[in-house]
Structure formats: C-alpha cells, structure tokens
Amino acid sequence: MSLQLGDTAPDFTIDSTAGSTNFYDYAGDNWVVFFSHPKDFTPVCTTELGAFARRKGEFDARNTKLIGLSVDSVDDHHGWAKDIQDVGGTALNYPLLADQERKVAGLYGMIHPKADSTATVRSIFFIDPKKKVRTVLTYPASAGRNIDEVLRILDSLQLTDGRKLTTPVDWKAGEDVIIAPSVSDEEAKAIYPNGWKTLKSYLRLVPPPAA
C-alpha cells in the first residue's frame, strides 16, 4: 500500500516512548507531522530527531503535533533517546513509535522493496485535522531532512487551506501569495478590493491573508 495525497491517514495503536499510543487520539484536532526512520542508533536520524525535539515549539505554535517511528523496540528507543539529547541538546519530547513488526510501516507504505526489502524509508507525512494526507516527502538514507522546509510546507498548507490561493517558488510566511487561476478577475475584485500585482494573466500576486 502506498498513501497518496488526499487519502485518509490510517489509524493505529502501538507502543511508543510515551506508552501505548493511538494515532487518532494523539492527533486530536491538530495537524500532524509524522516521520519514519529505518532503525535506531543511525547517524543521520539521530541528528533529525534531535532537531525536531529542539524546534518542537515552532510546531506547537502551528497547532501541529510531532510523531516519529522506528522499527526497533521501546527499550532501544529509550537508549537512543539519550544519544538524541546528547547530540541535539534537547530531550525527546514527542512519541517515537516502536514498529517492530512493521505494521504501521505497511499501512503507510514505508517499505520500498527496491531500496530495502525490510527497512522503512525515511518519509514525512503531513496530515491535516481531518486526517487527510496533504504532503509526503521521502528522503534517501544519505540526505538529512530540512526542518525549515518542513515548516515552510506546513505554513503553505495551513495558509492556503480552504482558500483559493497557492504559494510561489521559495515562498516564506509573510510573502505574497498567488490567486488561483480558477478565480476570475471579477471574483478576485470582490475578494481583494485593494487589487493585486499581475505578472501574467494567470499569475496574480496578493499579500497573504491575515491568519
């Protein structure tokens, strides 16, 4: 199984560093950033988990919960957590799932046989409060994730959610956004009485709406 954008994120209950964790209960009405790791005590993943922990407050501010997954045991996770704190400078402060039987990995399509027949790939799933998958990023083992990019995508998703807007290349929070081509100029006049900047007939920029 491979999750696609718009699919409902599967629910599950599994042991974690925070005890038995039910995904839907944990998520509640929040956004969720859910990231997988192939195994414990791996160098790139150690740096990533520490960075997520260190910057958890930025996700909290965006009404977003963090949750990680690795295929080793909870005991191994607790041992790894000491390294994560040593390297990252912050204690693990979100659940790290213990998916030893690869059940959650199977639900989320984290096993890519051509890459490795047993280990999970390093994916990130952005899941909205309606439990819909909104973005999936999959990284190779050699490249560490970019937390700034994760936050940037999250900002874009949250800003444009329910609005006929998109965000341009390299967009950052606070910068101009694009009026969707499905919105006619007549409709746009009613929505944006102060006008917009036209680069092309199909590319119209406006300041971002207030939160």
Active site residues: 45
Q: Of the candidates 13, 129, 195, 37, which has an alpha carbon nearest to the alpha carbon of residue 206?
A: 195
Q: What's the token pair of residue 94?
A: 């979100």
What is the strand order of the sheet 133-139 is part of? 19-22, 13-16, 96-98, 64-70, 31-36, 122-127, 133-139
Q: Measured between alpha carbons, how far apart are the two ends of the chain, in Å?
A: 36
Give CA–CA dist 204/186, Å, rounded.
Answer: 13
Give CA–CA dist 143/64, Å, rounded.
Answer: 24
